[in-house]
Chain A
């Protein structure tokens, strides 16, 4: 493992972890944010109910 390898690893892993931590901080710190956040997992398609 070269110095370049350590730098690439630290930047890649640190960057992704930092971005995730920032997102979690935003979700918990913005009042009411959870009510407006969505993912594919929680979006219900209306055709399931009416078929």
Chain B
């Protein structure tokens, strides 16, 4: 074996760090959620609020979260309620931490289910059970597999046995995740980011080449060409409402910002917890930009060029305009591409298996904020905390699996938690950083140990632009929800859905129950922190 020279070692180390940092945020949001949302909100029109949100919200709020977390960690806190309390010394401050507990825990409840779909598809490709004849067959299979036709359908095991049972794969994913967390085997995540993530990107690039060379596979439908598919994804105003019509809808701005937050793991409370374990002079500026750039590249350059054009080519305009749930498009469109590829079965296996591994790395980190609170605030051990969270998330995941008709539970929780609550938490954090910690103090914290110089203009973006942007969009969204009457009687606004749908009401009750539980846990934690502080004052008079 040849001896590696110091120069080669340094390069290997640098490439390893780049891969670990860029790959850390890549997950289901990039390849599945982003194309689904872009399709729902008009393709090219969605990219305008998306790009604006990336620059004015995504990057600045990522810096905010990393800074707040490291600031709180230096003062002895790892959970966001504790960290908020060190920055804003009021009784209310820790209770904003309810959002940073509820968001990752409730996203986990449906994220693990989508993770299970990836594992199921990988196994089905491995055992040769994904060989359907027509594009519509893939759509029909996916709908039956996830129980989109009726509540409780996903619980039934169809004729083909465990390989056709979404619930079986959900149980496998749950066990894998909790064994990894319970035994503290999270070091494997770094290994994954260094080695499996590049494999996922290479696999996606091969699929991209195949998608771009599909041409017009069905001569009977000449309009379903790759060029038209790319047109739907990128033309501003590709859908019937046009560019201005799409941009006039405040929900597109909220969804675009929500997608940026979702895929960068910003506004979740996750980064705060992880950055609280950093050393005082570790870099957070270049780290967060590199992670955001790697994530954005996978999302826009790979997810955006593959899934929607493929869906358009094989399933047509009507399918792309109304995809099966936010996450479903990739599960229907991509198998068609694999069906047109040499060794497509093996590419299908590899892609969905690597996506499953990427999802596991993301889902493991979702439970860390709540674990930190249970340990720090209630004095529980890691294993007891994991067991409690296992119970809560299992109940929530069962709810999502059961209320599967039209993906109602998944989509309701994804909107109210994965978009709305993330949006609210991001707004709180940017105000906390810019106005309560103070722009200058906050920026000094961000710049300490920074490997790049962040332009001073971002101090003003964080203090003025981001809060005004967030509050304006949320104000317009509420206004349009309360006052808009949809032209199509079959369309309903989010608030109307609450009134009309029992399943939506139940989903919101679940959210409120989880929120109440964490409020009580935070109240108990605050009591313990106060008692500890009083004891400290008595010892040091």
- A interface list, Cβ under 8 A from B: 1-2, 4-6, 8-9, 11-13, 15-17, 19-20, 22-24, 26-28, 30, 33-34, 36-49, 51
| Contact indicator B44/A4 (Cβ below 8 Å) | yes
A13-B38 Cα distance, complex, nearest whole Å: 15
| Contact indicator B286/A12 (Cβ below 8 Å) | no
Q: Which residue of B lies closest to A23 (CB)?
A: B290
- B interface list, Cβ under 8 A from A: 11, 13-14, 17-18, 20-25, 44, 47-48, 51, 78, 184, 186-187, 189-190, 192-193, 227-228, 230-231, 233-238, 265, 270-271, 274-275, 277-278, 281-284, 286-287, 289-294, 296-297, 299-301, 304-305, 361, 365, 368, 371-372, 375, 381-383, 449, 451-452
A sample of 15 cross-chain residue pairs with beta-carbon separation below 8 angstroms, ordered by A number, consists of A1-B228, A1-B231, A15-B51, A16-B301, A17-B297, A20-B296, A23-B22, A24-B290, A30-B286, A36-B449, A39-B287, A40-B265, A43-B278, A44-B277, A45-B274
A23-B293 Cα distance, complex, nearest whole Å: 8
Further contacts, 17 of them, CB under 8 A, given A16-B297, A23-B22 = A12-B47, A12-B304, A16-B300, A19-B289, A20-B22, A20-B297, A26-B290, A33-B283, A37-B290, A39-B287, A41-B23, A43-B274, A44-B187, A45-B186, A45-B368, A45-B371, A51-B383
| Contact indicator A34/B14 (Cβ below 8 Å) | yes
Among A39, A48, A49, A51, the residue within 8 A (CB) of B21 is: A39
Chain B positions within 8 Å of A19 at CB level: 289, 292-293, 296-297
| Contact indicator B294/A20 (Cβ below 8 Å) | yes
A16-B380 Cα distance, complex, nearest whole Å: 43
Is the contact region of chain A dominated by helix, strand, or loop, or is it mixed? helix
| Contact indicator A2/B23 (Cβ below 8 Å) | no
User: Known contacts A9-B234, A42-B20; is A26 also within 8 Å of B190 by CB?
Assistant: no
Q: Which residue of A lies closest to B291 (CB)?
A: A39
Chain A positions within 8 Å of B293 at CB level: 16, 19-20, 22-23
A30-B18 Cα distance, complex, nearest whole Å: 13
Closest Cβ of chain A to B228, distance in Å, is: 7
A34-B291 Cα distance, complex, nearest whole Å: 14
| Contact indicator A30/B451 (Cβ below 8 Å) | yes
